[in-house]
Amino acid sequence: MTWQISEILREKREGKTLSADAIDTFVKGVASSFVSDSQIAAFTMATCIRGMTAEECVSLTLAMRDSGEVLDWSGLNLTGPVIDKHSTGGVGDLTSLLIGPMVAACGGFVPMISGRGLGHTGGTLDKLEAISGYCVTPEREQFQQVVKSVGVAIVGQTAALAPADRRIYAVRDVTATVESISLITASILSKKLAAGLDALVMDVKVGNGAFTPKFEDAVDLAQTIVNTGNGAGVKTSALITDMSQPLAPAAGNALEIAIALDYLTGRARPERLHRVTIALAAQLLVAGGLASSTMDAEQQLLNVLDSGEAFVRFERMCHALGATVEDLSVNDVLPKAPVIKPVLATEAGWVTRTQARQLGMVVVGLGGGRRVPADVVDPRVGLSQMKQVGEKVMAGEPLAWVHAANEVDAQQAVNAVSAAYTVSAQSDIEYTELIGPVVG
């Protein structure tokens, strides 16, 4: 096998197309630890430089999926499709917390395997752990039973699912090969396909707070994911959505859970967050055959929100996964930061630009994310009531509120948030909210 691995690396380095057998041999070697980190690094760098054909990308995705356990739902007698969505990440992006229970209330079954924060982007698992007792690592049997009984379970990747992906990603993270579209695609889809999905909808972010700031790169990534997912046997489509400013008016784990609870109970539904959530969830209902059209899907989603059924699904999921909070509809059930300070506008005008990535890094700096994997996340900290592009502000009015563990962190964050906002005396803002196009 040593000779085979060397030849595989040589062929990829020279830009040749690898066979499905060669890719499978390499990935099996990764999963068994026969392939070394240096060989993984050679493979990822060659792939980053040379790229992959559509066939290679499908083969890599399937090999990584099959490096571990693939969930089987056939014996559970589910009454609807097994479907999910995935986002490429951003700031204030809490749509997974909303879409899962909404789709479940419409008849779908959503085994959502999510991740932790990465760089400036927030992690769904970190957010859920702000709810006392919530367990993101249940045993497989419990995970599947929660999906069957509630319709949705949001958990983390287990050691049994796509283990080759964890090794490959760890090497990519330290070898400047994270940006490879082929490797991004295989990493995302191997985990999602291991969940045994019938359909998947991707939310590919674009803008200064996304991993793909340029529109053409976002389209390229969306198309690659869609082609690969469909080629691997899962009905896959994608929407390209805006991340040139935070999606929700808050960023930070407990603060985003609070937004989610307000949204699901109907206390408040921020406009931008609502539009993106409905667009993605509607696409998922159509993809799963639960709605005849986008209009039909949107009406179903509004119905389960207004009836309270979507919130019921969320609360049932939390309790089934260990949450100790008895009534999540009550305010003040989440941890709160001891220091809360406003970020005041120094002049009157209109918000014409925000640096979403910078705002995300402010949350990380406060302790709401990780600089290294071993960092402990503080669920209390973050930013709230962030002004959106196009909003008018008066001098001395808050642009946002900082939630911090101490005064020093708070003041540093205030300065950084202030620098991330552009306020102009002119109201003619060149900004177009982007939802779409649908790729699929």
Residues 300 and 382 reside in one and the same domain:
no
pLDDT at 89: 85
Q: What is the CATH number of the domain that holds 407?
A: 3.90.1170.30
**Shared domain check, 299 and 228:** yes
pLDDT of residue 430: 57
Q: List the catalytic residue out of 25, 44, 59, 87.
A: 87
Co-location of 257 and 346 in the same domain: no
Please say if 316 is a catalytic residue: no
CA dihedral 288, 104, 85, 365 (to 10 degrees): 170
Q: Could you read off the pLDDT tens digit of each residue along the chain, which spans 440 residues?
A: 555 899 999 999 999 999 999 999 999 999 999 999 999 999 999 999 999 999 999 999 999 999 999 999 999 999 999 999 999 888 999 999 999 999 999 999 999 998 777 678 778 999 999 999 999 999 999 999 999 999 999 998 887 889 999 899 888 877 888 778 999 999 999 999 999 999 999 999 999 998 888 999 999 999 999 999 999 999 999 999 999 999 999 999 999 999 999 999 999 999 999 999 999 999 999 999 999 999 999 999 999 999 999 999 999 999 999 999 999 998 789 999 999 999 999 999 999 999 999 999 999 999 998 777 677 899 999 999 999 999 999 999 999 999 999 999 999 999 999 999 999 987 766 555 666 666 66
Examine residue 18 and state whether it is found in any structural domain, yes or no: no
Is 16 a known active-site residue? no
Amino acid at 87: S
Q: What is the pLDDT of residue 376?
A: 85
The yes-or-no answer on residue 84 being catalytic is: yes
Q: What is the spatial distance between Cα 120 and Cα 211, in angstroms, rounded to a whole number?
A: 10
The candidate with the shortest Cα–Cα distance to 263, out of 192, 299, 311, 315, is 311
What pLDDT, on a 0 to 100 scale, did the predictor assign at position 440?
62
Q: Which of 192, 205, 316, 357 is catalytic?
A: 192
Rg (CA), the chain: 22
Catalytic residue among 65, 120, 167, 172: 172
Q: List b or e across 69-91, with b for residues whose CB sees 16 or more CB atoms inside 10 angstroms.
A: bebebeeeebebbbbbbbbbbbb
CA proximity to 108, closest of 84, 86, 124, 136: 84
Told to judge if 137 belongs to the known catalytic residues of this protein, a careful annotator would answer: no
**Looking at the domain assignment, is residue 17 inside a domain?**
no
The predicted structure's pLDDT at residue 1: 53
- Report if residue 368 sits inside a domain: yes
Q: Is the domain of 404 the same as that of 307? A: no
Contact 313, 104 (CB under 8 A): yes
Per-residue confidence (pLDDT) for residue 240, from 0 to 100:
94
**pLDDT for residue 34:** 94
Catalytic residue among 85, 167, 316, 319: 85
For residue 413, give its domain range.
Answer: 339-424
Adjacent-strand bridge partners of 111: 153
Q: Is 12 annotated as catalytic?
A: no
392 and 249 part of one domain: no
In a shared domain, residues 152 and 280: yes
* 149 and 263, same domain (yes or no): yes
Residue with tokens 């399937």: 62
Residue 418 in any domain: the answer is yes
pTM for this predicted structure: 0.91
Report the distance separating Cα 122 and Cα 370, nearest Å: 10
Q: Do 129 and 267 belong to one domain?
A: yes
Q: Do residues 312 and 344 both lie within one domain?
A: no
User: Domain boundary at 260, 293, 320, which?
Assistant: 320
Which of residues 289, 320, 351 is at a domain's end? 320
* pLDDT for the residue 69: 92
Cα–Cα distance between 338 and 335 in angstroms, integer?
A: 10
Same domain (yes/no): 196, 292 = yes
What pLDDT, on the 0 to 100 scale, is given for residue 71? 94
| Residue 140 annotated in active site | no
Catalytic residue among 61, 180, 187, 212: 187
Specify whether 299 is located in the same domain as 197.
yes
Residue 40 lies in a domain: no
187: annotated active-site residue: yes
Are 303 and 353 in a shared domain? no
Of 124, 182, 265, 384, the active-site residue reads: 124
Catalytic residue, chosen from 65, 86, 116, 316, is: 86
192 is a catalytic site residue: yes
| Active site (annotated) includes residue 177 | no
Please state the domain count of the chain. 2
What 3-state DSSP class applies to 89?
A: coil
Q: Is 398 domain-assigned? A: yes
Whether residue 372 lies inside any domain: the answer is yes
**Which of 263, 287, 320 represents a domain boundary (last residue)?**
320
Peptide bond into 163 cis (omega under 30): no
Which is the catalytic residue, given 24, 66, 84, 165? 84
Confirm whether 203 is domain-assigned: yes
Looking at residue 103, its pLDDT comes to 98
Distance linking the first and last C-alpha atoms of the chain: 39
User: Phi, psi at residue 84, to the nearest 5°?
Assistant: -160, 165
Q: What is the pLDDT of residue 238?
A: 95
CATH number at residue 112: 3.40.1030.10
Give the list of residues 6+ apart from residue 330 with CB closer than 8 angstroms, or none.
Answer: none
For residue 330, what pLDDT is reported? 86
Q: Which of 127, 166, 167, 191 is catalytic?
A: 191
Provide the pLDDT for residue 66. Answer: 95
DSSP state of 75: G
